[in-house]
Structure 1
Amino acid sequence: MTDSAEYRAANDAVRSHFFKRVWQLTTPYWRSEEKGMAWLLLIVVIVLSLVGVGLNVWLNSWYRDFYNALQNKDLKSFIHLMLMFCGIAAVFILTAVYRLYLTQMLTIRWRRWLTERHFAAWLGDKNYYRLEQRGHTDNPDQRLSEDLNSFTDTTLTLGLGLIRNLVSLVSFSVILWGVSGSIELFGITIAGYMFWAALLYAAVGSWLTHLIARRLIGLNNRQQRYEADLRFGLVRVRENAESIALYNGEANENERLMTRFRNVWGNFWELMKVQKRLTFFSSGYAQVATVFPFIVAAPRYFSGQIQLGELMQINSAFGNVQDGLSWFIDAYASLANWRATCDRLLSFRSAMAETTHESANIDVRKTGGDLQLQHLSLCLSDGRELLEPSSLTVKTGEHLLIGGPSGGGKSTLLRAMSGLWRFGSGVVQMPDARCLFVPQKPYLPIGTLAQALSYPEQAGQYSAEHLAEVLRLCRLETLIPRLDDADHWQRVLSPGEQQRLAVARALLYAPSWLFLDEATSALDEADEAALYQVLLEQLPGVTLVSIGHRASLKRFHPRQLRLEERRLRETEAVLPA
């Protein structure tokens, strides 16, 4: 097999695989619990589209009679035809309005269904976290919002447009074949020659369009990614405004944003060049198509074989046939956008599927009453070892403090216990009880303070009195009047206040096991000790597993370990006073 043949075979395989995956993305909705309404809306929209085609066919005959009436100066027929036109126009308007309305209804219902499934897949099994850790995809927010919207809208628009064009093509091809007559060329009589002229004209145009604009798919894909990168950079500046301002980092951020914008700029220029060439061709193609049927039909008209009405009917039928055959030309830019959208969605879904089905080397189980590590080893994604195979048992009520140098793997150890970290080997047996992990930088959702405090539970889970009480215990009395205020609390509260709020959240959640990853590092030792005292008093049955560097924490944890040099070592306990 030659290189070119191998290349064509490889491209055919890619296209076949692409359409198979798009089919798998498209069809589930039409077999889902909403299939009844979905198919009903689709059928009604198709019927309305066919009614529109039928009206165009009717108008084709109307044009013949109308122009004949004008040529013959037949006033009675003229008035009758104008009244007929008013009725056709009214039906056409109603059909167009409800076809658009019902298409939009079907689009938003399909988008809602797809969004629900993709949200569930993205948030399920911690996929959102693992995708970020592994760097599988860029800008998942774009894929879950813009791409799903574009996919449903463009798929229905292109699909319905193709059906409408096919029906119109068949209908007007029959008309054009009947009215175009025959012509003798080089001694050969060609029947229905206007139809063959339209077919040849559209085929040459489609071929040239593909040659001119085939780069649009890749360019549109990159443009969407660059635009999303720029938006993400702008959001990062907003999220970290105070830190950037304190560093006087405006010049640095400006250069970073401009670097991303230069990608947008450069790729857009390439898009402009391709679209300019495509517009030159498509505009010229459309202009020539306006007069082409008159030129081809002129010999029969001037020889007296047909009247003005037949000439105008031929022109209308030729235009509709040529439009149907030129659907690929008119829809090429939309097809390129659709292909780019599908590529992004399919790559995102593939990444989620790989993350979901990838084997976890660390076996995390939830059973029994104690925490046990059995021959647990940890490493980074590049294979660098953080912890040699180690075993450990923490009994219920046995408060444990894990120390060690920064970057030694302490937080990674907690991630392995929670089931987030998969790089390593061994078994983690988590207690079959209510557990809560509190990170160093707590997450505070945008919304009311009550919602941020109640997270991960809903705000209505706790009474206002209970919320106010835990705020008092954590020395956040000033926030009690703001429980119903909505704000971006990670910007409003200081790091220390955020950590106090996270401890208050733990008091509400009331876990049996509480894992704290330097969760009080932004507080001074006195405040830290006060919060630990509150935890032990308010949650008498809790077991604490803490990561921290301060010696003052030791008195709250009768058992202490250090993770250093890739080993877990017991250290001398400091008993509480």
Structure 2
Amino acid sequence: MTDAPPPSQRSRMRQFFRVALRYWGDRETRWRAWGLTTAVLFFVAAQIASAVGINKWNRLFFDALEKRDVPGVWSATGWLPLLVVATALSVSGLVVCRMLLQTRWRENLTRRVSGWWIADQRYYRLGFLTKKLTAPEYRIAEDVRLSIEPLVELAIGLISAFITAATFAAILWQVAGSAEVTLGTVTVVIPSYMAVAAVLYAVIASLAAYLTGRPLVGLVSRKNEMEAQFRAEMTRLRENAESIALIRGDADELSTAGENYRRVVAAWLRIVRQQGIIALVLNTNGALFPIVPLLLIAPKFLVGSVTLGAVVQVVAAFSAVQAALIWFVDNFVRLAEWFASVTRVDELVEELQGLDIGTIMEADTQIELGESEDEAIHIENLSLAHSNGRVVVADATVAIERGAKVLIAGESGSGKSTLIRALAGLWPWGSGSIRVPAGQSIAFVPQKPYLPRGTLRSILLYPASERPVDDETITGALQRCGLGYLSRRLDEEEDWDRILSGGERQRIAFTRLLIQKPDIIVMDEATSALDEESQEVLLGLFDNELADATLISVGHRPGLEDYHEQKITLERRPAGAHVTSKPIGRSLWRLFRSRRAANEDTAD
């Protein structure tokens, strides 16, 4: 398969809006969305109406000053409080409605993207399928915000600019009138010359801003990528702090962090250089545009064609038209930053939408997951491969009866953990089928159990934290797994993942099994942090409380065979690991355990 060409900027925008604009179409959000949009547009119109009122007030006031008309001055002054109140209310209303629209729209898009990320284990599979897409959590938390909040402000600004330009251009047309330019014996009349001048000036300024600012889009995108990688490295350092500290890896980590931050600085310096060029254009425009209308209207004032009030009104109207028409100039940097975030969000959405099993593999290279016709787990003609096509496990066919205790063994790298991932439905590369009995619950116990934030009770009941379980059941399970001393702390909220040792976390996992009583249990090195005596106690649960559960476990430690009755061995070969299955006799071990239990009872 050949890589497709990267999407164009227009394609990125179209894909982003196809997802983001669902806020106005979803049944649950459309009424709120349209209500907030209507409120924003109302206050935009009110704000522009207030600006027009102030523009006309300027003419009345300065005409009265020019004529030294005291009653006229006082009359104009009397209207000022009303204009101030109207302006304040319209601006305040627009700010509140704008922020509400930003918050609710971001909430909708964040929920949608994070839902895609978390659903169907995409957060897990994403790391296998793409290496170029870094820090998806940063894209959801930060880039979604940066793609929505500026968009609302930019959209409001664009609408305001269009209406303002049209409104104040009409004022220029009416007040400034035409200009006569004499060239020798020919007199040329330029109708509405102030409006024409404002448009020409804005076109020149916008073109200059576009040419100087265009490279900024790629630079900002590169900067955001470097920032995300730096944050990811810092997170990795924090999550592995103990391991790094124990092996004295400080110097190496400091060097790595310094190198990552140098990339951030380099990306920022490129932006600074380009911002300097853009600033030169923007500041030149900022210095010129208040002066240009004065120079254009001055000849008409000097010959008495317009009043002082008309001059003030024309200058204000020209500035308003100019500010509206060079909206692109003033916002080019923000547009570049916004589009960079849109690109990163769209890349994430694109990857997440492509994570469906049917789209990431060709039709003839899928692992078929289904329900078995009996109560056994059937693995048939299963081949597992890496993303580069290298086969790890070849043509495995195994049946695991209900209640069986199965050990998966093999040398390191033979594909044991990959087989576990395939059983969990997390591994997309391969062929064959895995069929599990319908209606049976499955629990997976990894080497390092996940402990979410919250109370100890919620951790023990995870992932069904709201499930009603009485304290006696929880306390009994803790006692059975050697964690009885934690029974008094069920409702304490601590950073348990940091507080508990590796062995205690593995005991927590077994406590969960006692509480939840799943039908099928899949373990991957689940007792690696325990001593042999503790391992014996916990694996003994599968002869007692969990005797009815089907057990599939991966492990290297000696003596594990004594706790299982079937062994699946993965023998590494060039064409992929060969899989064999054979029964294990447990009679001697059961006899030894029963005699030891009898001796203990006699001693008691």
TM-score category, normalised to shorter length: over 0.9
Q: How does 1:224-239 map to 2 (within 5 A)?
A: 224-239=224-239
Matched letter for residue 316 of structure 2: S
Distance apart, 1:362 and its partner CA? 0.7
Matched letter for residue 421 of structure 1: W
- Which secondary structure state, in structure 2, belongs to the residue aligned with residue 445 of structure 1? coil
Q: Does 1:366 align with 2:371?
A: yes
- Which secondary structure state, in structure 1, belongs to the residue aligned with residue 290 of structure 2? helix
Distance apart, 1:572 and its partner CA? 5.8
Equivalent in the alignment of 2:578: 567
CA distance in 1, matches of 2:469, 2:90: 53
Q: Deviations over 1:473-509 (max 9, x none)?
A: 1101222222222222222111111111111111122
CA distance in 2, matches of 1:336, 1:216: 6
Q: Does 1:95 align with 2:90?
A: yes
Q: How many residue pairs get matched?
A: 567
RMSD of aligned C-alpha atoms? Answer: 1.7
- Which secondary structure state, in structure 2, belongs to the residue aligned with residue 386 of structure 1? strand
Matched letter for residue 252 of structure 1: D
Q: Does 1:129 align with 2:96?
A: no
Equivalent in the alignment of 1:302: 302
Q: Deviations over 1:206-234 (max 9, x none)?
A: 00001111111111111112112212222
Q: Does 1:149 align with 2:145?
A: yes
Distance apart, 1:20 and its partner CA? 2.4
Distance apart, 1:406 and its partner CA? 1.2
Q: Which moved more, 1:452-461 or 1:311-320?
A: 452-461
Distance apart, 1:255 and its partner CA? 0.9
Equivalent in the alignment of 2:46: 51
Distance apart, 1:119 and its partner CA? 1.9
Q: Which moved more, 1:434-443 or 1:362-371?
A: 362-371
Equivalent in the alignment of 2:595: none
Q: Which moved more, 1:433-442 or 1:547-556?
A: 547-556
CA distance in 1, matches of 2:412, 2:15: 45
Matched letter for residue 155 of structure 1: L
Identical positions, percent:
32
Equivalent in the alignment of 2:329: 329
Equivalent in the alignment of 1:6: none
Equivalent in the alignment of 1:112: 107
Equivalent in the alignment of 2:550: 543
Q: How does 1:407-556 map to 2 (within 5 A)?
A: 407-432=413-438, 433-556=440-563
Distance apart, 1:459 and its partner CA? 4.7
Q: Deviations over 1:236-285 (max 9, x none)?
A: 22211111111111111111111111111111111111112212221220
Equivalent in the alignment of 2:313: 313
- Which secondary structure state, in structure 1, belongs to the residue aligned with residue 443 of structure 2? strand
Q: How does 1:30-429 map to 2 (within 5 A)?
A: 30-33=24-27, 34-135=29-130, 137-185=133-181, 186=183, 187-356=187-356, 357-359=359-361, 361-368=366-373, 369-429=375-435
Q: Is the 8 A contact 2:20 2:109 kept in 1?
A: no
Distance apart, 1:533 and its partner CA? 0.8
- Which secondary structure state, in structure 1, belongs to the residue aligned with residue 398 of structure 2? strand
- Which secondary structure state, in structure 1, belongs to the residue aligned with residue 482 of structure 2? coil
CA distance in 2, matches of 1:470, 1:552: 25
Distance apart, 1:15 and its partner CA? 4.3
TM-score normalised to the size of structure 1? Answer: 0.95
Q: Is the 8 A contact 1:529 1:552 kept in 2?
A: no
Matched letter for residue 413 of structure 1: L
CA distance in 2, matches of 1:68, 1:428: 88
Q: Which moved more, 1:248-257 or 1:77-86?
A: 77-86
- Which secondary structure state, in structure 2, belongs to the residue aligned with residue 355 of structure 1? coil
Q: Deviations over 1:130-179 (max 9, x none)?
A: 11122252111122111221222122111111111111111001111111
Distance apart, 1:423 and its partner CA? 1.3
Distance apart, 1:76 and its partner CA? 2.0
- Which secondary structure state, in structure 1, belongs to the residue aligned with residue 521 of structure 2? strand
- Which secondary structure state, in structure 2, belongs to the residue aligned with residue 484 of structure 1? coil
- Which secondary structure state, in structure 1, belongs to the residue aligned with residue 422 of structure 2? helix
Q: Deviations over 1:426-465 (max 9, x none)?
A: 0111122111111111111122222222111115532333
Distance apart, 1:522 and its partner CA? 1.0
Q: Which moved more, 1:176-185 or 1:423-432?
A: 176-185
CA distance in 2, matches of 1:426, 1:523: 36
Matched letter for residue 360 of structure 2: E
Q: 1:17 aligns with which of 4, 11, 19?
A: 11
CA distance in 2, matches of 1:535, 1:287: 82
Equivalent in the alignment of 2:593: none
Q: Is the 8 A contact 1:450 1:459 kept in 2?
A: no
Q: Is the 8 A contact 2:13 2:342 kept in 1?
A: no
Q: Which moved more, 1:293-302 or 1:350-359?
A: 350-359
- Name whichever structure is richer in helix by fraction: 1
Q: Is the 8 A contact 1:529 1:553 kept in 2?
A: no
Q: 1:293 to 1:126 in 2, by over 3 A?
A: same
CA distance in 2, matches of 1:464, 1:61: 76
* Structure 2 unmatched runs, 5+: 591-604
CA distance in 1, matches of 2:426, 2:467: 29
Distance apart, 1:517 and its partner CA? 0.8
Q: Is the 8 A contact 1:147 1:341 kept in 2?
A: yes
Distance apart, 1:199 and its partner CA? 0.8
Distance apart, 1:363 and its partner CA? 0.6
CA distance in 1, matches of 2:13, 2:502: 50
CA distance in 2, matches of 1:420, 1:366: 17
